[in-house]
Amino acid sequence: MKIAILGFGKEGQSILRFIKNQKQYRGSEIWVLDKNTTLKIPRGTKTQLGKNYLRNLEGFDLVFRSPGITWNLPELRLARRTGTKFLSATKLFFEHYPSKNFVGITGTKGKGTTSTLLYEILKAHSTSSGQAVKKPVFLAGNIGKSAIDILPRLSALSPRKSAFIILELSSFQLQDSITSPHIAVVLDVFPDHQDSHLNLREYYEAKTNIARHQRRGDKIFFFKNNALSRWVAQKSPGLKIAVDENKFALFGPQNLKIPGWHNFKNAAMAAIVAQSLGVPQKIILKTVKGFRGLEHRLELVRSRSGIKFYNDSASTNPQTSAAAIRAFPNQTKILIAGGQDKGLNYKPLAEALKSSGTQLVVLFGENKRKIKKQIANSKVRIALCKNIKTAIRMAYRFAKSLPAAIIFSPGAASFDQFLNYVDRGEQFKKIVRGLTK
């Protein structure tokens, strides 16, 4: 068999390790295909690197696609038409571990926060006193660790000691999925990734794969007040559980260390799913109150002379920037935004800025002029900068006369000036910590 691993980041490397230990692939000719020509490739693996890395995909029997490779590229469509089979790490996981205690979480934003908080709650429950059998808890998927990396540890568990598994699932991981988790969670869904999906319909349809392959005995949790979340959930034949954050009473936004109504909603979802899995309320409440959130998601970086700096680099669309502005309703604010465009409309951000207490929006990056044009009717002062360093310094100078909360919530992709959103957030923090006068 001739096998291609398409994309050799973390997930591609996990796939290579996995298939080398599987009898069914023994003796196969394995290739790594990636546009990066500086990769370190293990011995015995053939390569096709550089700008022509997608050439002759139809010549492979099996292609393992990493989620960063767009599903509908012409070369992939041709290969599928000619009979090449495509798999992914997510598909492999579904095939090898059909657990009833498997929770899959998707949505446009909030997946990482919700997945991590649910993981912390289940871990606290598993290690609490009085548990006859302490179930291990695993977190993987889009959050950073490939799902197939945890398969060896799962396989080593005794039947009596089954595990809880939480997978964060992006649209790219779900797009070609033919299996759904037994417990599905759908957070808020709104427009995104128009730089990668053919259109919004395709993006939304990809999300439905978390629901459409469920069975009658399965469950799907969704946000009642989000129309697209409801629409995705309706594709499931399983039990549909609507979550209304306005009626949630176990805790309120004031009990969380992470700011914003959107974070409260996602924490409420994690709590309700945890309750359905048998976790007592006291454990849920204690864990939620102690949860400090994830890096690059409204992360407080520095507080100096009444000026607070928040790193929200994980914000890659207008809705998340709007949520960041709304997270501080009674504070004077300065927003730093901009980056690589994803084909999205910034009307949600313009609406959030109106009467928000935002005194200045500093824009930098590839799409700064587009954002400026689309938020012009918000009546907020707008300034354009060349890069993140000048944007931070301008915001800081302006904030000294107020003072204010400086919120770095780009609302765009990072690839115009950074490796990824993590690199962008780290650079923001480094510059902010180095500010003196």
Look at residue 7 and tell me whether its pLDDT is greater than 90.
yes
Instruction: Please report the pLDDT score of residue 205 as a whole number.
Output: 95
User: pLDDT of 286-301, one tens digit each?
Assistant: 999 999 999 999 999 9
CA distances to 28, 84, 102, 166, 319 from 185, rounded to whole Å, are 37, 32, 11, 10, 20
CA distances to 89, 90, 149, 208, 392 from 15, rounded to whole Å, are 6, 10, 9, 25, 40
User: pLDDT of 237-277, one tens digit each?
Assistant: 999 999 999 999 999 999 999 999 999 999 999 999 999 99
Q: Which class would CATH give 92-290?
A: alpha beta
Look at residue 342 and tell me whether its pLDDT is greater than 90.
yes
Q: How many helices (H) and strands (E) does the chain have?
A: 15, 17
Q: How many C-beta atoms surround the C-beta of residue 421 within 10 A?
A: 21
Q: Domain 299-433 in CATH: superfamily?
A: Mur ligase, C-terminal domain (3.90.190.20)
Is residue 179 a contact partner of residue 236, using CB atoms and an 8 Å limit? no
The CATH 3.90.190.20 portion of the chain extends over 299-433
The pLDDT-based confidence of 160 (bands split at 50, 70, 90) is low
**Least confident window among 31-35, 144-148, 412-416:** 144-148
DSSP state of 340: B
Q: Which class would CATH give 2-87?
A: alpha beta
Q: What percent of the chain has pLDDT over 70?
A: 97
The CATH 3.40.1190.10 portion of the chain extends over 92-290
